[in-house]
Amino acid sequence: MSTIADTLDAFLAEQHHRLAERTYHRYADIIDLFRTCMEGYGPNSLDDTELAQWRAASDDDPDAFAHLFGPEKIPGELGEFFAWFLPRKVAGGIEMTKTARTVVKKLAVWLEANGHIPHTAVLDMTEQANDAVEAEAADDNDYLDDFLYDLD
């Protein structure tokens, strides 16, 4: 069985061959943030059996979530990443969210091409990524409106 860690490593290795170095590092940064999010919040989405398995492994392995579970878990973790982790924990802003959208869309297509997820999951991942950019842009506009209002 392929793990999340193996899968993300393979994705990044393939991207490294096709991308300019600067762009590759942006991809790697987003994937690292996503891994951190999954390790912190992924256990919340586990059923009782999986949670027990994760608890047993997590004492010795800080990356237990990515080492125990397969890439089919990736689409389900994007909601937390885009809705909470990226805007609130990282405070990444619109440009980082746009970069994450690009990386997630490429990852989704790659996961499907490598037989890890069905096409419906690709559509869901793409929709979540697009929605995150729209939400971040709306938040930025609201902030700017409030700022300009306070200047009056």
List, for residues 98-141, the tens digit of each pLDDT value. 999 999 999 999 999 999 999 999 999 999 999 988 888 765 44
Query: pTM of the full predicted structure?
Result: 0.87
Q: What percent of the chain has pLDDT over 90?
A: 78
Look at residue 25 and tell me whether its pLDDT is greater than 60. Answer: yes
pLDDT number for residue 138 = 66
Rounded to the nearest angstrom, the gap between the alpha carbon of residue 11 and the centroid of all alpha carbons in its chain is 13
List, for residues 48-100, the tens digit of each pLDDT value. 999 999 999 999 999 999 999 999 999 999 999 999 999 888 988 889 999 99
pLDDT number for residue 150 = 52
| Own/partner pairs, 149-152, CB within 8 angstroms, 24+ separation | none
Q: What residues does each domain of the chain span?
A: 4-151
HEC letters along 47-78: CHHHHHHHHHHHCCCCCHHHHHCCHHHHHHHH
**Average per-residue pLDDT for the chain:** 90
pLDDT number for residue 1 = 77
pLDDT number for residue 49 = 97
